[in-house]
């Protein structure tokens, strides 16, 4: 009775103070599931609910049960993998005998597509390869690694192949990276699949999974690159100054003599201006003639440590990014130095502009003149942390915000203009992983999980706000994707690695990208479709959908959803979900929460929020 009265009071408060957002449906799942441990949304929109008495899918529009499996009790949330762009997911659960089993399921009807049964396989990761009409699953059984090919044409397992003993490193375990594949699949002219794992090369026949050939290096493989230009496979091994070249069809070593390097090979890329291959080494670089595989320069150009080479015409710009001091050098077509320039700090972004090479380091930003090697900007732009980045397509400028200052940067000309300064954001420090988003005809939305601010395109702060997080150990929010950790270097700089990714994408002409579960900050199911085939007019549609969902602080095009401590001290609940208008900063809707760490989902397409509270009450609100 007391609980019923509390819910009535909560409902009344919601109606009076939440601008009357609509509760579309509410389902108590205690009888069918007993306790709802977690909810997720499948790529086709269904709400998946895992409980102590089973596992079910509900229609997101009505709340009615679409399918239920009473055998799937206490499904492990940590095992859940939503396969991007497909109505498919993977889960693990414990059977009555206490043994764990893994299932690949069709979310639309609950059909089991693959069952590990008693064989004790565990799916750890996957890679969707549409051009090969397949999903490649990484699996573990006992201490052995396995690959499984799952067909996107038949929706059936085709084969399972062993690929050596599992030796997942401590770093991967700490970072939560379940993948054992270090070098993703490449396919040669015969269609064979080439994979690098640890110090091994595996070449498999994709039709049946049979091993074509295998090679074990003396140390960890640092680079494994297949070149379609000459149908050769290039191998670089840690602590080895020898480049090895294979015939991918047979595994025969076809290296012309002994190709000695400065350090070891770290990458191989094509030079579009000359059709040569650029060989990147740990301490320098050289050019390879793909017809003969001979090095074109007698000695590799030395720069230690080498992190990047950017070709431009007949010249090359080599960058060595040390943690405290870096170096940039212009190198001509003969491998001779034209000039070099020192860069203070770690240069985490480099890009070609009309005037020169722009760089952003942990201490400064400037443009180095192509001809002289000198700084173009008389005064450095300095960043204390990785700046928030977005693209203003109306002005055709990259917007950069950091430490109270806003800049408009022209990627083509290299011109940079300060358009905002002394901007004070609420409770934002250099450690805040701040990100940015362009709002058409409005300005620049600056945000993190708990921060929202808007800067006009003229540099005026329209609003700034901070929402106190509900709990210091709130499991709703993923750990911040901080740049120092992501780059693998000891940097005294904070910020989101997504901003570095954004800068890189913008430099390559990519103004928007869809992030997915394989490493993205947001979980995006799909905003397009998945098609398989060779691309020669025989593409087959697997799934077409346009629903996107988000994790952490949820986003939609116009609003930000934030879980925070309730700002209304007289409210019957201590926590709430706020729907904040990005353009105005105003709270347009809010939902009082019974839990301070609820499990909730946002459906952007249908403008709905799904909440699992007290492990039994599942509610759907429309906005």
Show the CA angle centred on residue 127, arms to residues 126 and 132, nearest 5°: 135
Render pLDDT for 389-440 as a digit per residue (tens, 0 to 9).
Answer: 888 999 999 899 998 999 998 878 888 899 999 999 999 988 888 889 999 9
pLDDT at 112: 95
C-alpha count within 13 angstroms, C-beta hemisphere, residue 322: 12
Helix (H) or strand (E) holding 174: helix 170-175
For residue 18, pLDDT over 60 is answered with no
Q: What is the pLDDT of residue 200?
A: 97
Q: Scan for tokens 């999980």, then name that residue.
A: 449
* Composition of the chain by helix, strand, coil, percent to 5: 10, 45, 45
Is residue 223 over pLDDT 70? Answer: yes
pLDDT tens per residue, range 563-604: 888 766 666 667 788 889 999 999 988 887 766 566 788 776
Q: Span 139-155, mean pLDDT?
A: 93
Find out whether 438 and 399 touch, Cβ atoms under 8 Å.
yes
How crowded is residue 427: how many other Cβ atoms within 10 Å of its Cβ? 13
- The fraction of the chain above a pLDDT of 70, given in percent, is 78
The pLDDT value recorded for residue 595 is: 62
| Per-residue pLDDT at 4 | 37
pLDDT of residue 441 exceeding 80, the answer is yes
pLDDT grade for 502, boundaries at 50, 70 and 90: low
pLDDT at 164: 94
343 CA to centre of own chain: 29
pLDDT of residue 30: 92
Query: What pLDDT score was predicted for residue 533?
Result: 46
Residue 510 in this model has a pLDDT that exceeds 60: no
Is 604 within the bounds of a domain? no
> Which range has the worst mean pLDDT, 67-76, 271-280, 423-432, 502-511?
502-511
- Give the burial string for 463-486 (b: 16+ CB within 10 Å, else e): ebbbbebbeeeeebbeebbbbbeb
Q: Which region among 137-151, 168-182, 301-315, 523-537 has the lowest average model confidence (pLDDT)?
A: 523-537
**Arithmetic mean of pLDDT over the chain:** 81
**Residue 300 predicted with pLDDT over 90:** yes
How much of the chain, in percent, has pLDDT values that exceed 90? 49
> Which of 232-236, 382-386, 482-486 is predicted with the least confidence, judged by mean pLDDT?
482-486
Number of domains in the chain: 1
> Is residue 383 scored above 60 in pLDDT?
yes
The pLDDT tens digits of the residues spanning 148-202 come to: 999 998 999 999 999 999 876 544 444 445 789 999 999 999 999 999 999 999 9
The DSSP annotation for 447-510 comes to E-SSEEEEE-TTS-EEEEEE---S-TT-TTSPPP-BHHHHHTS--S--SBHHHHHHHHHHHTT-
Q: Quick one: pLDDT band at residue 367, thresholds 50, 70, 90?
A: very high
Confidence category of residue 499, pLDDT binned at 50, 70, 90: low
Considering only 77-91, 275-289, 550-564, which range has the smallest mean pLDDT? 550-564
Rounded CA gap, 241 and 218, in Å?
Answer: 12
User: Hey, which of 217-221, 500-504, 511-515 has the most confident mean pLDDT?
Assistant: 217-221
Taken as a whole, the chain contains a residue count of 623
Burial class (CB in 10 A: 0-12, 13-18, 19+), 520: middle
Domain extent at residue 495 = 383-443+467-513
Domain assignment present for residue 585? The answer is no
- Cβ burial of 159 (10 Å; 0-12, 13-18, 19+) is middle
For residue 265, is pLDDT > 50?
yes
Per-residue pLDDT at 114 exceeds 90: yes
Q: Is residue 144 part of a domain?
A: no
pLDDT at 519 (0 to 100): 28
List phi, psi (to 5°) of 231.
55, 45
What DSSP letter does each residue of 29-42 carry, written as one string?
A: -HHHHSSEEEEEE-
Q: What pLDDT score was predicted for residue 488?
A: 46
Q: Is the pLDDT of residue 529 over 60?
A: no
Q: What is the mean pLDDT of residues 249-267?
A: 91
The per-residue pLDDT for 20 is 41
504 in a structural domain:
yes
What number is the average pLDDT over the span 268-287?
Answer: 91
The predicted pLDDT at position 479 comes to 27
SS3 for 577?
strand
């Amino acid at each position: 009775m007391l609980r019923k009265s509390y819910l009535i009071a909560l409902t009344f408060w919601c109606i009076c103070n939440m601008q009357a957002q609509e509760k579309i449906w509410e389902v108590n799942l205690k009888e069918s599931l007993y306790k709802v441990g977690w909810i997720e949304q499948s790529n086709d929109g269904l709400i998946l609910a895992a409980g102590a008495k089973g596992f079910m899918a509900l229609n997101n529009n009505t709340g009615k049960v679409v399918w239920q499996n009473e055998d799937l009790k206490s499904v492990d949330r940590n095992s859940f993998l939503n396969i991007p762009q497909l109505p498919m997911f993977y889960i693990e659960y414990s059977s009555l005998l206490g043994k764990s089993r893994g299932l690949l399921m069709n979310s639309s009807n609950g059909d089991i597509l693959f069952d590990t049964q008693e064989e004790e396989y565990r799916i750890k990761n996957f890679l969707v390869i549409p051009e090969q009409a397949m999903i490649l699953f990484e699996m573990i059984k006992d201490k052995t690694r396995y690959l499984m090919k799952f067909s996107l044409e038949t929706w059936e397992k085709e084969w399972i192949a062993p690929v050596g003993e599992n030796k997942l490193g401590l770093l991967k375990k700490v970072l939560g990276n379940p993948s054992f594949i270090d070098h993703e699949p490449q396919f040669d002219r015969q269609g064979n699949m080439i994979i690098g794992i640890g110090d091994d090369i595996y070449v498999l026949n994709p039709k049946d999974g049979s091993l074509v050939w295998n090679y074990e290096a003396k140390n960890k493989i640092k680079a494994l690159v297949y070149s379609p230009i000459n149908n050769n496979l290039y191998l670089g091994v840690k602590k080895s100054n020898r480049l090895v070249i294979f015939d991918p069809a047979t595994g025969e070593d076809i290296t012309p003599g002994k190709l000695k390097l400065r350090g070891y090979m770290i990458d191989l890329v094509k030079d579009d201006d000359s059709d040569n291959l650029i060989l990147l080494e740990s301490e320098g670089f050289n050019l390879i003639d793909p017809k003969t595989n001979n090095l074109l320069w007698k000695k590799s150009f030395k720069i230690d440590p080498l992190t990047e080479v950017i070709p431009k015409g007949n010249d090359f710009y080599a960058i060595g990014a040390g943690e405290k001091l870096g170096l940039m050098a212009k190198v001509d077509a003969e491998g001779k130095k034209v000039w070099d320039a020192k860069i203070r700090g770690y240069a985490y972004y480099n890009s070609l502009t009309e005037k020169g090479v722009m760089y952003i380091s942990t201490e400064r930003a400037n443009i180095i003149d192509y001809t002289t090697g000198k700084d173009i900007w008389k005064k450095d732009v300095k960043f204390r942390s990785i700046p928030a980045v977005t693209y203003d397509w109306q002005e055709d400028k990259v917007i950069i915000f950091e430490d109270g200052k806003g800049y408009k940067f022209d990627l083509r000309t290299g011109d940079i203009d300060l358009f905002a300064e002394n901007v004070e954001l609420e409770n934002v420090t250099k450690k805040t992983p701040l990100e940015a988003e362009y709002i058409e005809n409005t300005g620049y939305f600056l945000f993190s999980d708990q921060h929202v601010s808007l800067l006009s395109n003229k540099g005026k702060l329209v609003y700034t706000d901070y929402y106190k997080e509900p709990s210091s150990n709130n499991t709703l929010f993923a750990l911040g994707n901080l740049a120092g950790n992501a780059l693998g270097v000891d940097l005294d700089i904070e910020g989101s690695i997504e901003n570095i990714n954004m800068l890189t994408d913008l430099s390559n002409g990519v103004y928007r990208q869809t992030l997915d579960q394989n490493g993205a900050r947001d979980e995006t199911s799909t905003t397009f479709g998945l098609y398989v085939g060779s691309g020669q007019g025989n593409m087959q549609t697997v799934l077409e959908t346009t629903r996107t969902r988000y994790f952490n602080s949820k986003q939609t095009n116009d609003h930000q959803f934030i879980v925070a401590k309730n700002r209304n001290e007289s409210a019957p609940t201590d926590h709430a979900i706020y729907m904040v208008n990005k353009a105005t900063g105003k709270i347009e809707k809010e939902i009082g929460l019974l839990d301070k760490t609820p499990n909730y989902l946002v459906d952007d397409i249908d403008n709905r929020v799904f909440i699992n509270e007290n492990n039994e009450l599942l509610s759907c609100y429309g906005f």
